Amino acid sequence: MTDIQTAIEFARQNRERFLDELKTFVSMPSVSTSDEHKADVARTAEWVAEQLRSLGMSRVAVMPTGGHPAVYGEWLGAGKKAPTVLIYGHYDVQPVDPLDLWKSDPFEGVLRGEYFFGRGVSDMKGQVLASMKAVESAMSAGKLPVNVKWLIEGEEEVGSKNLGPFIQKHSDLLKADVCLNPDAGMMSADLPTITYGLRGLCYLELRVYGPAKDLHSGLYGGTIHNPAQALTELVAGMHDKNGRITLPGFYDKVRKLTKQERAAFASLPVKDRELLKQTGVKALWGEPAFIPAERVGARPTLEVNGLLSGWTGKGSKTVLPAYAMAKISCRLVPDQTPEDVVRQMKAYLRKNAPKTVRWELDELTHSGWAITDLNSRGVQAMSRALETVWGKKTLFRREGGSIGVVVHLQQYAGVESVLTGFGLPDDDIHSPNERLHLPTWHKGIEALVHFIYNMKV
Amino acid sequence: MTDIQTAIEFARQNRERFLDELKTFVSMPSVSTSDEHKADVARTAEWVAEQLRSLGMSRVAVMPTGGHPAVYGEWLGAGKKAPTVLIYGHYDVQPVDPLDLWKSDPFEGVLRGEYFFGRGVSDMKGQVLASMKAVESAMSAGKLPVNVKWLIEGEEEVGSKNLGPFIQKHSDLLKADVCLNPDAGMMSADLPTITYGLRGLCYLELRVYGPAKDLHSGLYGGTIHNPAQALTELVAGMHDKNGRITLPGFYDKVRKLTKQERAAFASLPVKDRELLKQTGVKALWGEPAFIPAERVGARPTLEVNGLLSGWTGKGSKTVLPAYAMAKISCRLVPDQTPEDVVRQMKAYLRKNAPKTVRWELDELTHSGWAITDLNSRGVQAMSRALETVWGKKTLFRREGGSIGVVVHLQQYAGVESVLTGFGLPDDDIHSPNERLHLPTWHKGIEALVHFIYNMKV
């Protein structure tokens, strides 16, 4: 057997153990947005470090950032002439609310049919573990053909805002020929996918203040501008009737799609009926001049992520609230910047907010968009690896999400990322009953083994 | 000394004890909207019944309704020829959120300067106790000159929705010549006030549903109509640019104010600068064609009482929410009906809700408006009582709040209400740090003593 055959065989023999390890990983409630889970997040970082040590990595360290720690480890035994692959992942997960919609404990990890259920199984503890198990499998066959470094962060789900400074500070440590980033998923279980474009993000919190305190709506209603009403007016006005965003200058820097790009989008297997099925809506929505794949991959959006004001419990309370809040985020495309959007939002609010209320705007997090070179060695190695395992052409797409680390690695360490992954569109990441399709996951581990060998000079 | 002088002297000698009893009453967290306080509400009803028994009332009973119980009691010793006064009150209180804005425990009852602080001290445990203490004072002087009945309910703060059927069922028991309702307050500490008009209420909950579950805003943003955005569009559209409500036909039945009524409104001491001071807003708001007193007393409104959607915790969650909710209530004036408003709201939603979302509308509670005859015996007796204690002309006003019982007593038992009370506009009812102005409260007890004697045939 060749090394690669040995490695693949090892991965197949150890599937059950790999799943047990995933169960342990998922059992740690590493919810990064929540103060109450701070100790769980720290404990999870230690667990990741321990895994890297058992893989035989050296210089393993749980390293401080401005927020939750990042885990580093490396194996440079392939020598200076061999390429170095930096493997990125995040060990933090989204909150689980609404908890009552989960069919099993989100932090247990439960097998039902071909799926493994739990918070973070797909996004992205399963992907992190797949990378570790691919390296372990390759190491079982002999010396690794490439050097590897690991950067497993704990703040992706809260916007990776401390990761930029961290990468900047440790840019020498993180130097690599390519970054493998398996956080991007695939279009379906039989469509291996590399993502070459990501949208940026600008996440804002808008607070509108009216009276100094909650008032009785009977005693004051009709004389005081209700800040919840003012907020709905402001938020509603951020789109026009055609779904176009009205922030002044919002589309000025949006790069026009070329004919070639539009043709590529048109060829993607994004079917309206699939979107309807996945989401359960009655009809799709969005800019009529673009198809859904373009609207997600190459057009900017403005979404209301949260609303809060006044009485939200059961029953009625006749209150005229003192305050109303909206969480609003924009997905950004080349060549928009988060700074532009903050400025445009402030200009919009200055122009449209009535004098009867006071507003405050905070930027909670942001990240830039990214585009990767399709002809780079990493992309080519991954494309061949996927085609070997799936026996199909790799799809290349631009994606709607935002991954801060891709931008920061390019900006501060000069490392380009290869974005792939083995999560599926219906994995319900960020939703109740998040799941991982196990047959795809096992194929993914094998694809990563092939990638390691394909990277050999 | 005359009976009345004896009674007034008794009230003055017992001020400290009366306040101790109020402290006990306030210590019971009778929050009617909250399931967790159900036992407290029941315990408070028992306490009220016990107080009526110690006053020497007979037929005292904690009576079941469709919700929280009502307390009844009577003393008919004045004989059939003497008039009967039904004293109405409610022993339930508003929720206390946001709790962190309270300077002392809302259920302790704390004296600071001339004010007594606690949830319900002004709205309306203080008013209920004032009525009891006035009767106790008059009884201390000899036989009461009038018969009294008591109806102290436990659901006013959740819209008294079970009180209509209760009054209908017990209309004989509740028969009286007049109802004393001290839930309406006064315009300031030196302006004794009778309220002769109340607005009605129609309290709705609108829920807008989008995708079957919360989605990742990056993966779906741009293709799915965000229900939080759809909700803001619907709610924002319920007012036009001039603050006029756009529900179809909303103003059709609104009775036009006469010249005489507008002159009366103009003479009320409602000052813009007082409203600004009370509320802390930068500028007033509302229909430009009406002065603030008219906008509160005689014009209908539509208020957003609550908003909820998606992620509302700390930090960011990039969710495209499945659902968005608004609590919306209309204050109604003659001759609007809550049924009209439900129909108008549904027509508005059918016309304006986009096909990309689904909506549901529930009516949570409603009550009719009311107007009382200024020349009735009850109003005249109360007017003279207030003038005796304050040495000033009584003000007559129409009020912005809604008191369901006034409508139900008129409709089912043929009893007209005299609306007064000793709460002040800056008592912060329904808000943190609710308070009662004690000098006004003690004057109020004396005024109720005078009212009892003034009612004598």
pLDDT digits (tens, 9 = 90+) for A37-95: 999 999 999 999 999 999 999 999 999 999 999 999 999 999 999 999 999 999 999 99
Question: Which of B119 and B198 is assigned the larger pLDDT?
Answer: B119
Query: Looking at residue A396, what is its pLDDT?
Result: 86
B349 touches B358 (CB < 8 A): no
Which pLDDT tens digit goes with each residue over B56-85? Answer: 999 999 999 999 999 999 999 999 999 999
DSSP string, B57-116: -EEEEEE--SSS-EEEEEE-TT-TTS-EEEEEEE--B----SGGG-SS-TTT-EEETTEE
The predicted pLDDT at position B348 comes to 98
Q: What is the reported pLDDT for B240? A: 93
Judge whether A444 is closer than 8 Å to chain B, CB to CB: no
Q: What is the mean pLDDT of residues A224-251?
A: 96
Put simply, the answer to whether A317 touches B304 (Cβ < 8 Å) is: no
The model's confidence at residue B241, banded by pLDDT at 50, 70 and 90, is: confident
Eight-class DSSP state of A418: E
- Shortest Cα distance from A10 to chain B (angstroms)? 35
- Name the residue in chain A with its Cα closest to that of B244: A222
Return the closest-CA partner of residue A294 out of A272, A327, A279, A316: A272
pLDDT tens string B1-31 = 899 999 999 999 999 999 999 999 999 999 9
- Smallest Cα distance from A431 to chain B, Å: 5
Is the confidence at residue B457, as pLDDT, over 80? no
pLDDT at A320: 96
Average pLDDT taken over every residue of chain B: 94
What is the nearest CA distance from A24 to chain B, expressed in angstroms? 25
- Looking at domain A200-254+300-367, which of 3.30.70.20, 3.30.930.10, 3.40.50.11540, 3.30.70.360 is its CATH number? 3.30.70.360
What was the pLDDT predicted at A377?
Answer: 93
pLDDT given for residue A368 in this prediction: 87
Q: Do B236 and A239 touch (CB under 8 A)?
A: no
The rounded distance, in Å, linking the Cα atoms of A143 and A456 is 12
Under 8 Å between Cβ of A408 and A366: no
Mutate to test the interface with B, among A229, A314, A434 (most CBs of B within 10 A): A229
Q: CB contact, 8 Å: B68 with chain A?
A: no
Q: So where are chain A's domains? A: 3-198+369-454, 200-254+300-367
Q: Do A218 and B432 touch (CB under 8 A)?
A: no
For A:152-181, CB contacts with B below 8 A are 157-159
Q: Of A426, A435, A402, A456, give the one whose Cα is nearest residue A188.
A: A426
| pLDDT for residue B135 is more than 90 | yes
Average pLDDT over residues B40-63: 98
Of the ranges A290-304, A392-406, B264-278, which is most confident?
A: A290-304
Quote the tokens at residue B348. Answer: 């508005």
Give the model's pLDDT for residue A26: 98
pLDDT score, position A269: 82
Query: What is the residue-averaged pLDDT of chain A?
Result: 94
The CATH number for B200-251+300-365, chosen from 1.10.40.30, 3.30.70.360, 1.20.1580.10, 3.30.70.1560, is: 3.30.70.360
Asked if residue A402 has pLDDT above 80, the reply is no
Question: What was the pLDDT predicted at A191?
Answer: 93
Does B260 have pLDDT greater than 80?
no
Which residues in chain B have their CB less than 8 angstroms from residue A35's CB? 314
Band of residue A23 on the pLDDT scale cut at 50, 70, 90: very high
Q: Which of the four pLDDT bands, split at 50, 70 and 90, describes residue B342?
A: very high
Surface-to-core class of residue B304, CB atoms within 10 Å of its CB (0-12 exposed, 13-18 middle, 19+ buried): buried
Q: What is the pLDDT of residue B186?
A: 94
Structure-block tokens of residue A288: 């009529």
- Among the listed residues B148, B1, B159, B152, the one whose alpha carbon sits nearest the alpha carbon of residue B83: B148
Residue A397 above 90 pLDDT? no
Note the pLDDT tens digit of each residue in B380-439. Answer: 999 999 999 999 989 888 888 878 899 899 889 999 999 999 999 899 998 999 999 999
B3-198+369-454 CATH, one of 3.40.630.10, 3.40.1160.10, 3.30.930.10, 3.60.21.10:
3.40.630.10
Q: Indicate the pLDDT class of residue A235, thresholds 50, 70 and 90.
A: very high
Q: Which residues 236-265 on chain A approach chain B with CB closer than 8 angstroms? A: 236-237, 239
Q: What is the mean pLDDT of residues B317-329?
A: 96
- Tell me the whole-structure pTM to 2 decimals: 0.74
What pLDDT does residue A96 have? Answer: 95
